[in-house]
Amino acid sequence: MEIEHIGCLLCDYTVESLDHLLFSCDFSKEIWRKMRIWVDVNELREFSSWSDWIGWFDSWSSSIDSKNRLYVIVASLLWHVWRFCNDTLFGSRSMKKNTLFDSIRYFSFSWLCNRGKCNIRWIDWLVKPLYTTSTFSPIGHFIAIKLEQLTNVKCFAEAGGQHVSGMGR
């Protein structure tokens, strides 16, 4: 198999590597810069690799809620950059450069609200994503309980009527 081009598809400055694509590429650095401004964490700096980011994150002194939110935001950022590069490589134009950061904010918000089971107002998320208060959602909790009960019934039936602890979670 012949590889036509080994340079970064987004900046064409250096040989592409995962750390370059996600942390050192000028394109990625701009997305990281926007994210640093948005989350408003003074200690948040530029990173050169995944291990550099994780080292900083592990030593960052903040509430568990803020750490969870920042982790989800960074995961969304990294996924979006990777996906944008793949879209560029394979000719798909499903992601637009000018809407990428908005998509990162939306996806991280959506994941936290739907998978993280917390209730954050969108306007608060846009202004202070790490420090806005989330409230317990009784309706969301009720729905989660009902879904778990339905999942357990389905798992019970799939297991031939035998109760299997932890199924459906």
Lowest mean pLDDT among 9-18, 84-93, 122-131: 9-18
Beta bridge partners of 15: 7
Domain boundaries, the chain: 18-135, 137-169
* More confidently predicted of 115 and 92: 115
Is 50 in contact with 22 (CB distance < 8 Å)?
A: yes
Torsion of CA 20, 26, 32, 36, to 10 degrees: 130
Q: pLDDT higher for 164 or 93?
A: 93
| Contacts for 52-61: CB closer than 8 Å, 24+ residues apart | 52/23, 53/23
Is residue 18 classed as helix, strand or coil in its secondary structure?
A: helix
Q: How do residues 102-117 score in pLDDT, each as one tens digit?
A: 999 999 999 988 887 7
Helix residue spans in 26-137 (DSSP H):
26-39, 50-59, 64-89, 100-114, 122-127
CA distances from 146 to 136, 151, 156 (A): 17, 9, 15
138 close to 123: Cβ distance less than 8 angstroms = no
Q: Give mean pLDDT, residues 154-162.
A: 40
C-alpha neighbours within 13 Å on the C-beta side of residue 164:
14
What span, in angstroms and rounded, lies between the C-alpha atoms of 57 and 51?
A: 10
The whole-angstrom separation of Cα 32 and Cα 68 is 17
What residue type is 148 in one-letter code?
Answer: E
pLDDT band for position 138 (cuts 50, 70, 90): very low
Taking 90 as the threshold, does the pLDDT of residue 25 lie above it? no
pLDDT at 162: 42
The SS3 assignment for 56 reads helix
Cα 70 to Cα 91: distance, rounded to the nearest angstrom: 31
